[in-house]
Structure 1
């Protein structure tokens, strides 16, 4: 157990001291800023008219209120989180190959499973913190704008949807870790992330989004008209996908030849 906590602490230090994570935080901050701008435009049609933003305003879904604003954040986490959370996971697992430090990890006097589990936990915590930061920044922007229809019921429901979408999106990042090991770096997992984003759009447009794991969080977030409630089949699909990614990654680190 002492080996595990030491490994987890080492992963935490790598993350905190890396510029990559802080750049990711800055890049992800664009999402709530854009959401706040959309709400501001919807709330101030005179500003939109004087600034020539009526065309853009017409393309913004929803109204300038807290329910629409929270739904927009859930959609951003479902879609943008697939990219950002996937990038974080690919970096945590792939950097060992890119920096040529994987041989040092494999030479440590304890099971490789400890390393894999510590990396998954570090990735999960990092992605949760990123999501919490985005939501907190979004709430701050919403209060500054002065959006209407604030209530405890709306807050509770909105946070529940945000939490579910975040956890589902993070859970689907485990296959990314496998491709980081299998590809020996960043390119393979990032390519997999972009592939899932593209396929999610195609499969959802074809009407089969409920059966494609990476499309389910976005559908539940309300990105389609009315959204869709989570069913047991949806949760089962995501659970199986997540477990396959986890055990595939574990198997690769335990038994694959590492060069």
Structure 2
């Protein structure tokens, strides 16, 4: 545990010294701000959640690409492996850093969205809308963090951060293309956006998704994590 904590502190230090998390935060806040002209709180928060789901995934993916790919781009991978810390702890520390950064970004964006709506003076605010929006922001953030694991694997496999960013945009196009189709509920990258539709329409998530949808999402996340760990453990060191 002490080795993991040491590696985690190092990753946090790298993140604090970089502009990447701040740029990601500003990007997500900017896209959410575009919904401020809606007629009421429900329309505003529905649009904010949808933009956070779609474009926030780009921000999360960019952050993951940088955190896992920078070691190769800056040629510090050998120095990192020379440390007396297991590769498992290094991968876990990087994933923990991604989750912490994405969680903080989600909290800040949600508070910012509420503040912006209050400043604009939108009508129709209620406790139910608040809690539903909070649940949607939280679940969307968790789903997008799960889908960051394949991005991390692509970053390690390609030994850089450009390929995983391309992968993020490719999966976004895939989600937007296949989301409205019958196979949409079984495409991992389309599931977060489909879930937000029930908040916008006032229905339930069960009308759009089913248990298999969430299983597919979890499998994609687990496969990305396992692939990243296997790459660090076996392939990358040959």
The answer to whether the superposition gives a TM-score over 0.5 is: yes
- Unpaired segments of 5 or more residues in structure 2? none
Query: Are 2:235 and 1:256 aligned?
Result: yes
Residue 19 of structure 1: CA displacement?
1.7
Q: Larger deviation: 1-10 or 224-233?
A: 224-233
Distance 1:186 1:244 in 2: 19
Q: Could you tell me how far 1:129 is from its partner in structure 2?
A: 0.9
Tell me the matched-pair count. 234
Question: Structure 2 vs 1, CA of residues 124 and 78 (structure 1 numbering), >3 Å: closer, same or farther?
Answer: same
Q: Which of 119, 140, 144 pairs up with 2:115?
A: 140
Question: Displacement, 1:225?
Answer: 7.4
1:234 to 213, 217, 232: 213
Q: After superposition, what is the alpha-carbon deviation per residue over 1:153-189, rounded to whole angstroms, capped at 9, x for unaligned?
A: 2211121122111111111110000000000001111
- Superposed CA RMSD in Å reads 1.7
Flag structure 1 segments of 5+ consecutive residues without an equivalent. Answer: 40-63
* Distance of 2:109 and 2:62 partners within structure 1: 16
Tell me, in whole angstroms, the C-alpha distance in 2 between the residues paired with 1:112 and 1:205. 40
**How much does 1:146 deviate?**
1.1
For normalisation by structure 1, the TM-score amounts to 0.86
Shift of 1:234: 1.3
What is the CA-CA distance between 1:143 and the residue it aligns to?
0.2
Once the two structures are superposed, what CA deviation does each residue of 1:72-118 show, in whole Å capped at 9, x if it has no partner? 12111210121110000111100111111111111112310000000
Q: Secondary structure at the match of 2:160?
A: coil
Computing the radius of gyration from Cα coordinates, the structure with the larger value is: 1
Matched, 1:245 2:220: no
SS at match of 2:236: coil
TM-score by length of 2: 0.93
Matched, 1:109 2:66: no
